Structure formats: C-alpha cells, structure tokens
A = this chain, B = another copy of it.
Amino acid sequence: MSHLQQSFTVQFVYNVFFTEKLFDTTNSLFADFFHQQATSATQKKLLFVIDSGVVETHPGLVAEIKAYFTQHADVVDLASDFLIIPGGEIAKNNPVFVEKIVDAVDTYGIDRHSYVAAIGGGSVLDMVGYAAAISHRGIRHIRIPTTVLSQNDSGVGVKNGVNYKGKKNFLGTFVPPIAVFNDSTFLTTLDDRDWRAGISEAIKVALIKDKAFFEWVETNAHALAARDMDAMQYLIHRCAQMHLQHISGGDPFEMGSSRPLDFGHWSAHKLEQLTNFELRHGEAVAIGIALDSIYSQQLGWLTDADTNRILTTLRTLGFSLYQPMLDADNSAGVLKGLSEFREHLGGQLTIMLLKDIGLGVEVHEMDATLVRQAIATLREHELSTTV
C-alpha cells in the first residue's frame, strides 16, 4: 500500500468596480477591462444575459450596449442576441433558463476564455453564474448587479446557484466572477421593496461585525428610506467591502468549518420557501434578524435597549417584521428551517447570535420553545405598532 499526495493552491483575483452609467459611450471602464484582459491569441466573445425587470425599466439598455460596443468594437465580439430572462426567483426555480444559457454558449461558440455577462438582480445573477460555471467547466463570468442586495452582497461573492424541486440553492458551485460592475444608475428604477430589501444584508454584517456601521445605518435610516442615493452608495460600498473581507479572510469555498455571513438566515430561507418566494430574500432576512435578535435578548445576551434599536432601525427602513407564516400553528414549518439549514451547510448546526451590537457569537443549537416565544414577541410587537 502506497500513496501519492496531491497538493496545490489556486489563486482567484477579481475587482468590484463602482461606477455610474456603465454603458454610456463616454465611460471607458467596461471597455478598459476588456483591453486589459486581451491577449494577442484570439478575439474573445461576449454574451449578455439580462433580467427582464431591468429591460422593462431601462428600455433603451440593449440599444445602449450595442452603441457602446460599436464605439469600442475592437475589444470584444458581441454575440448578436441578448438573452432576456424573467427577473426574480423564477429565474432560479425553472430549470429551462439554465438550459437556455447553456444552449446559447453552444450556439454563439462562447469558450472558456470568452465571457458571459449577466445584468440583473441576485436571482438572475445566481442562475447565470451557475450556468456559466458548468458550461465547458467554467466560462468567464461578469456580474453587473442591479439591485441593492446583489450590489452589496450576492453579486460580489463567490457563490452561485439555482433551486431544485423547490429546495433553495440546492444546486450550485463556488466560482468567483472575473469582474463585478456596480452601476448605481440601475438602482433608481428599483421599486421600494427591492431598494429596501438589500439593506437588511448590510444590517446583518454590521450587527455581527461592526457596531459603527450599524450606528451609521441607524442614523441614516430615514435618509435611506427616502431613497437618498449618496447614503445608499456608502452603504453598498461598505457592505460589499465587508463581504469581500470575510471571504478572503476565511475559507472562501467553505470547505472547512468556517461560516458564511448568515446571521438571521436560517429562518429567512425557510420563510422565502413557505411564502412561495412572495417574500423577497432581503425582506425575509430582515424578519430573521429581528427573530434572532429577540432570541439573543431572551438568552440575556442582548439588552432590551439594543434589541429595540435593531427593531426600530428595521421598522424605520420600512420592513415588516412579522409574517403570518411565522405563526405558532405553522411554526413547525419555520423550525424545520433549522435542520434544512444545517444540512445545506453541512456538518454541525451553527447559528450566529448576538452578544452585543457588532458582536456575533456562534451557537450549535436553538431551543424550539424559545424560538416560538421569539416569534410570539415579534407578532405582538407588530400588532402593537400597526394598530
């Protein structure tokens, strides 16, 4: 009996750019990226996949992109068609869309050194990233996130995925993008729900890692709710930065026991599913944050004052913190989220709770009675504030 040991490291590098009007012909950022990537060997191709919600609210976008690449024709060969994919969770629920992209990769001869660029919310980005990752064992993938959540969280990280038979993110891979372009112009057309939803991911990282950032959000909650773009750009930049640091500072592909930034997420994933994805991911996370903050309070870890600051900030932003699916009679449903969460992450159950604002601490079990009690508290709160 003998063995050969294999050992190697792979380096991954990519930039997250912050810009406005990415496809304005006077903005050379995107063209410069392709110039820098160019090798003498071959002309690369570029296939665009766009979220239908973006196309509807930016009806000139496709023409703008075409004009951009007429101006910068030398940098890359634009595929003649643009794929438009329905925005929202449906993009991840229906396997036909992954197939559509894989087929386009074949039709347009997109090879491993060519590009698939996705413009859209986190759902379309997750799905396109997955399709690109499995085609030819991985095509270069550019993300152009158009929602708050995708610009500050999902779009800057290393995960992609689709749902499978109703199971959230059951299929997916860890594959970094080749570049991310955060264009704030897209955010102006978001409806209020999507503008708001992504803010919960910033609150999530702030609560477990950065008290000062939480206090900034608390102070700017009214401005954010009133759609102040400067405040939003600061929030996105800081949140994206914290996500990137968490990834590079830890275990990027989550191979060991290290954890993703998922405070408030165990119940959020389940709530999304229980509401048939009626609830946005970020909206569900806001409820999950509220729930696990109250649970932390019940453990005596978080003071009443701090718990209230969290709930108040979420409410000021316009989040609704109670959802009928949380209801006691259905709480077996939400509690099932605990075991599903463990299973998806693998290994032991690990839940992040709060010892203080800015200080997350991991636990390995949650008490069902206490969870039900936290849900009840949330329900009371909501009834009293909405009366």
Contacts and interface: CB of A to CB of B under 8 A. Distances in A.
B135 A253 contact: no
Contacts of A156: 4, 6
B171 A102 contact: yes
Given A10-B252, A344-B111, A347-B112, A4 B19 contact: no
A207 interface: no
A176 interface: yes
B169 A347 contact: no
A342 B111 contact: yes
B138 A253 contact: yes
Given A111-B342, A111-B345, A112-B345, A18 B6 contact: no
A6 B347 contact: no
A171 B134 contact: yes
Interface residues on A, range: 35 or more
A247 B5 CA distance: 12
A346 B113 contact: yes
Contacts of A18: 1-4
Nearest to A250: B8
Interface of A: 1-19, 29, 39, 41-42, 102, 106, 109, 111-114, 133-139, 156, 159, 161, 164-165, 167, 169-174, 176, 237, 240-241, 244, 247-248, 252-255, 257, 342-348
Given A4-B241, A138-B253, 11 more contacts: A5-B13, A6-B247, A8-B11, A10-B10, A10-B255, A102-B170, A102-B171, A111-B344, A135-B171, A137-B254, A138-B173
